[in-house]
Amino acid sequence: MTTTAETAAGIRLHDPNVRGFASDNYSGVHPEILAALAAANDGHQVSYGEDEYTARLQEVLEGHFGPGIESFPVFNGTGANVLSLQSLLPRWGAVVCASTAHINMDENGAPERIGGIKLLHVPTPDGKLTPELIDREAWGWGDEHRAQPLAVSITQTTELGTCYTPEEVRAIADHIHAKGMKLHMDGARLANAAAHLQVPLRAFTRDAGVDILSFGGTKNGLLFGEVVVALNPESAHGLVYLRKMNMQLGSKMRFMSAQFIALLEGDLWLRSASHANAMAARLRAAVDTIDGVQPTQKTESNGVFAILPEGVADRLRQSFRFYDWDEAAREVRWMCSFDTTEEDIDAFADAIRHELRAYRGSTAS
């Protein structure tokens, strides 16, 4: 039996050979991030963001997005999204988003319960909003009976693995800015979008008219942490106070900031995201040749979505964990990470082939 002392001394409690495709949150921490945390660990630094690492992170982010931005490291993606949206809106404001948006489906009502923000969600076939889809809910200004639609939130890449082009983001920004609305981008997989588009981060964010950004790190190799980046600070109000109110102000903020410096100062962010995307492309190429797998979305980032025959997903999960996306439709989601290997992909593809052969054999008999 493993004792508490042995665990504290570094006894591993899991099998590192177990691999899965459930989420890019399942992967560990990139070795370069661990090294950055260790380097930041010696000595004392001022707490609550008045440290040298957080000051340096601001400079690094300006290198990507340009001068005049403001940055606020936070603990997690839900906190980043709620904080961002609160800063854009008065108490009576509402946010238009896709029905599949993380803020609508996967944050347990936090924008509404914690942020006090009404979500006006719109069905989309591919997770992407358009000006026309936004207009289904962008109405009713001046009507005291309706929450006022004053912001739009889009996700890059989307929850369905699709990617907005810079032109698509700009079209949304121009359309809603003309209506007096503001634009938030949930960038949990922002690096994967840049890797797919092969453009700088600012090309589809600040340069395309995004007002505020939730910049994700955890899904790209960080231990923890995201950064709220006010790309247009004039549109965001009270972030320094809202962060504390939302329990997102880290006392030892240097460890959030040190991770993002390691991620963004060089090309680690792009290397890791490009690799994850490449592994998803490899998986997509494999399943495209497997009879019985029906891909449902374009593979433009690090996720593959597909429909499998009845019962096949559950049998596959005995060896590789992954999630159902739409259980009623038998649609599943397979996610790749910075540490997914070609061997992982090939083994998983072989497992899919094996289970589909078994399925066809059982139905034939």
pLDDT confidence of residue 6: 52
Is 3 or 87 the better-scoring residue by pLDDT?
87
Q: CB count, 10 Å around CB of 288?
A: 12
> What's the rounded mean pLDDT across residues 12-25?
93
> What's the rounded mean pLDDT across residues 204-226?
98
pLDDT confidence of residue 188: 97
In this predicted model, what pLDDT tens digit does every residue of 272-322 receive, in sequence order?
Answer: 999 999 999 999 999 999 999 999 999 999 999 999 999 999 999 999 999
Q: How many CA atoms lie within 13 A of 228 on its CB side?
A: 32
pLDDT confidence of residue 365: 61
- Under the banding of pLDDT at 50, 70 and 90, the label for residue 361 is confident
CA angle 271, 197, 32 (to 5 degrees): 15
| Whole-angstrom distance, CA of residue 305 vs CA of residue 314 | 16
With respect to CATH, is domain 4-27+268-364 assigned 3.90.1150.10?
yes
> What's the rounded mean pLDDT across residues 31-50?
97
> What's the rounded mean pLDDT across residues 353-361?
92
Helix or strand or coil: residue 187?
strand
Residue type, 224: F
Task: Give ranges for CATH 3.90.1150.10 in the chain.
Answer: 4-27+268-364
- Under the banding of pLDDT at 50, 70 and 90, the label for residue 201 is very high
- Under the banding of pLDDT at 50, 70 and 90, the label for residue 11 is confident
Task: Give ranges for CATH 3.40.640.10 in the chain.
Answer: 31-264
- Under the banding of pLDDT at 50, 70 and 90, the label for residue 1 is very low
Mean residue pLDDT across the chain: 96
| Whole-angstrom distance, CA of residue 299 vs CA of residue 278 | 10
- Beta strand ranges found along the chain (DSSP E): 70-74, 93-98, 118-122, 148-155, 182-187, 212-216, 226-230, 294-295, 303-307, 323-326, 331-335
Choices 2.102.10.10, 3.40.190.10, 3.40.50.1010, 3.40.640.10: CATH for 31-264? 3.40.640.10
Nearest Cα to Cα of residue 273 among 231, 215, 322, 333: 215
| Beta strands at 118-122 and 93-98: parallel, antiparallel or unpaired | parallel
On the question of pLDDT at 192 being above 70, the answer is: yes
Q: What is the pTM for the complete model shown?
A: 0.95
- Under the banding of pLDDT at 50, 70 and 90, the label for residue 363 is confident
